[in-house]
Amino acid sequence: MQSIYDNGVGDIEVKGLKKVYKKQNRRNPSKVIKLSNQLRNDGLIQKASDDLNAPNMKHDKIREGRVTFLYSNSLTDKSEPFKCLDKAKENAEIFSSWNFNDKETKELWLTHSINAEKSGFSTFYNLYYKDPIKELVNKIKNLDEIELDDEKTFKQLAVENNNIFENRNRGNLYEVAQSEHINKLNIILDLPWGKVKKQIVNQDSLLSYKYDGLTNTHKASTSRDPILRQLDDLYEIIELYINNNINGFLRKCTYQIKSIKDKQMLTAIMNKLINSISEMKSIEEILKYALENDLVHKKDGFNSFINGRGYYLWERVKSISFQEYNKSIEYQKDYLPFATQHSVKGSEYNNVLVVLDNGGWNKYNFHKYFLGTAKESIKERTEKLLYVCVTRAKRELVVYMELDILSKEIVLKKMRELFGEDNVLSIDEIINVDN
């Protein structure tokens, strides 16, 4: 039930092999076990552990826990998606004992895109994953049959091959960029194609600050670009300073201390740096200040990258606030309550909020799953992912979904079967009652 990745080995059926079923549940309270058993499709019915010392036991009995299905109409304030959920998190009684700043509380969404917005680094994320200029460059790169003149500007080639930018749903992508993204387009418009075609915006780079179990630290993976690696060095000394890890800070910081006066000066420099970050100063401003004050060394290859293959990326990145970069690291280090539904497999938390929204990913469809109209492959993926999400909860589980008014009653009937009549609540009602 927990094989949620398409590139796994799948179900194994080999003659002579005997399946070992995990019948006893040591993590979840009784209400979560009951719900998860209804979601299983393998015939296995789990029960509470016989071990009275299991994590889900209290005073020799299994914890009861709580499960709730929250819903709202999908027409609710489309200008600010899920605004009512944010309001409920702040004010509703069912979340009164939850601390969304605590590591024991997690809010699970399907995609990194939504989490980036919730976490506060959507501009950073969109640059790496959804950049419209990168899309235009790739369109020209795909003209394999034409030997392109490296001396011609990007603008010349775009005009000469304008037809390749036609998109049935979005119109002419080059013309859209001229009207909606002109400042981004201007960065490369007059550059020679020989330079433009070498520009790198590697989407795998942004979320590549990974945990290393051997050293118990987070490190940049090989796909991390030189700009982010330079910022990582600065982030790490700032974190050491804020956490009062003075020895670690002094080892990593490149500022030379020869006297008490130097120590006092370094303290003043760091305090000013931290204040500047809180004032939403840009990445360029923060990095310039850090380099000028010898807090970090400029990494080998940084200048050649931003003047060469990373020219466009740096021109975009440097104006983004350093705070956005900070948030992207905090997200990857699990300091924030938001996580993707895939990433929490194997983890557990006291309180879990699962938001059932497809996020534009057509491999999953929660609405069609509950309506019974999903294709078999989508049904299976959605079912397994939902099972993984609900079974992360050690105490309380809340599942939230926006419902289409046309299919609302069908879905609610299913939810009342799964969660129980009294545990299916309208989010508008609990906000109004509690306020």
Whether the CB-CB separation of 326 and 235 falls below 8 Å is answered with yes
> Are 314 and 234 found together in one domain?
yes
> Are 76 and 172 found together in one domain?
no
> Are 360 and 424 found together in one domain?
yes
Which of 247, 228, 227 has the alpha carbon at shortest distance from 237?
Answer: 247
Q: What is the dihedral of CA 331, 334, 338, 343, to 10 degrees?
A: 100
What is the pLDDT at residue 20?
A: 58
What is the pLDDT at residue 82?
A: 78
Which of 23, 32, 20 has the alpha carbon at shortest distance from 56?
Answer: 32
- Contacting residues for 387 by C-beta, under 8 A, at least 6 apart: 1, 2, 36, 39, 40
Angle between helices 283-292 and 260-278 (to 10 degrees): 180
> Are 242 and 322 found together in one domain?
yes
Q: What is the DSSP letter of 423?
A: G
> Are 420 and 388 found together in one domain?
yes
The pLDDT-based confidence of 23 (bands split at 50, 70, 90) is: confident
Using one digit for the tens of pLDDT, what is the confidence trace for 277-287? 999 999 999 99
Beta bridge partners of 218: 211
Residue 404 falls inside a structural domain: yes
Q: What is the DSSP letter of 27?
A: S
| Residues of the domain holding 317 | 214-332
What are the tokens at 188? 């490369």
Residue 386 falls inside a structural domain: yes
> Are 167 and 219 found together in one domain?
no
End position of a domain, from candidates 332, 352, 367: 332
* Total of domains in the chain: 3
Q: What is the DSSP letter of 8?
A: S
What is the pLDDT at residue 9?
A: 46
Residue 127 falls inside a structural domain: no
> Are 173 and 218 found together in one domain?
no
Residue 252 falls inside a structural domain: yes
Residue 125 falls inside a structural domain: no
What is the pLDDT at residue 227?
A: 98
Q: pTM, whole model, 2 decimals?
A: 0.88
Residue 76 falls inside a structural domain: yes
Q: What is the dihedral of CA 22, 27, 31, 32, to 10 degrees?
A: -80
> Are 249 and 308 found together in one domain?
yes
> Are 311 and 418 found together in one domain?
no
Which of 22, 49, 45 has the alpha carbon at shortest distance from 34?
Answer: 45
> Are 79 and 138 found together in one domain?
no
End position of a domain, from candidates 281, 311, 332: 332
Whether the CB-CB separation of 202 and 224 falls below 8 Å is answered with no
H/E stretch holding 183: helix 182-189
The pLDDT-based confidence of 360 (bands split at 50, 70, 90) is: confident
Q: How many CB atoms lie within 10 A of CB 394?
A: 20
End position of a domain, from candidates 314, 332, 350: 332
Residue 45 falls inside a structural domain: no
What is the pLDDT at residue 428?
A: 86
Check which CATH number belongs to the domain holding 402 and give it: 3.40.50
> Are 150 and 74 found together in one domain?
no
DSSP assignment of 89-100 equals HHH-GGGTT--T
